[in-house]
Amino acid sequence: MTPNPNPRIVLVHALRESQVPAWDAFAQGWPEARIFNLLDDSLSADFAAAGSLTPRMTERFLTLGRYVAGTDPDGQRTAAILFSCSAFGAAIDAVKKDLTIPVLRPNEAAFEAALATGSRIALMSTFPKSLPPLVSELRAMAAERGLKPEIITTVAAGGLEALQAGNGVEHDHIAAATAAALPSVDVLVLCQFSLARAAGSIAPVRGRMVLTTPASAVAKLRSLLGAQ
């Protein structure tokens, strides 16, 4: 079957701040794709209040996945779904099993690239509660490949609050300062779509790759859907 040069891809967001980095990544990496968006910013608030992923939250993800996997009024079926919410890996995996189209976790592609890059991996987040499930996700992916990476986590404390207050410059400064304080690693993964905007502010370090989740996800989707 000939690949669709303009596939319909739905992005599901749990933070308003994740949207623009995702749009920018597609504009730069795959402008031909037709991008649509679904935002439910109650998910991140409810996750923070609950402290962990609950069965009810997983059911909400299944409902969202089934909804966006349908066809548009012209009969064009959704080709793939990309979730941009980094704290909900297990719920997104449930959606993967439930649907037949490609469904990507936000960090999936970046973690694959990180594991292919080196054994010392740093994960940065501005949302502390997202880090434990992200570490578990990365360790599981590493185990599937027979790898045992050294994983370092770091929180760019105050970054998300600055961004939500409209102070993107302060957000980027906090991320850059947090990255500068890291020990030597092979790769640094900015584990939230909202953190991608700070990549250009992080000082280059010889031997260290910096990966953003939206750019990595766009590249993987292009590969999955056969786009050239």
pLDDT score for 83 = 96
Domain ranges of the chain: 8-106+215-224, 108-213
What does the pLDDT read at residue 196?
95
Residue 74 has pLDDT above 90, yes or no: no
**pLDDT, tens digit, for every residue of 116-125?**
999 999 999 9
The gap from C-alpha 206 to its chain's centroid, in whole angstroms, comes to 25
Task: Tell which CATH architecture fits domain 8-106+215-224.
Answer: 3-Layer(aba) Sandwich (3.40)
Contact 142, 150 (CB under 8 A): no
Same fold, 8-106+215-224 and 108-213: yes
The residue type at 88 = F
* Rounded Cα gap, residues 56 and 74, in angstroms: 33
pLDDT tens track for 118-151: 999 999 999 888 899 899 999 999 999 999 999 9
How does pLDDT run across 201-212, given as a tens digit for each residue? 999 999 999 999
User: What is the third-level CATH fold of 108-213?
Assistant: Rossmann fold (3.40.50)
| 150, β-bridge pairs | 120
Quote the DSSP letter at residue 192. S
- Judged against a pLDDT cut of 80, whether residue 71 lies above it is answered with no
CB contact set of 67 (below 8 Å; sequence gap of 6+): 38
Q: How confident is the model at residue 227 (pLDDT cuts 50, 70, 90)?
A: low
> Strand ranges (DSSP E) for 73-198?
80-83, 103-104, 120-125, 150-155, 187-190
Whole-prediction pTM: 0.89
104 CB-contact burial (10 Å; exposed 0-12 / middle 13-18 / buried 19+): buried
- Going by C-alpha positions, the residue among 134, 211, 124 that lies closest to residue 176 is 124
User: What one-character-per-residue DSSP string does 96-131 give?
Assistant: HHH-SS-EE-TTHHHHHHHHHH-SEEEEEESSGGGH
Smallest Cα–Cα separation from 94: which of 129, 55, 121, 133?
55
Nearest by Cα to 192 from 209, 170, 207, 175: 175
DSSP bridge partners of 34: 8
Q: What is the pLDDT averaged over residues 98-103?
A: 95
Mean pLDDT of the chain: 92
Asked whether 8 and 72 are in contact (CB, 8 A), the reply is yes
Query: What tokens does 202 get?
Result: 């992080």
Using an 8 Å Cβ cutoff, are 211 and 110 in contact?
Answer: yes
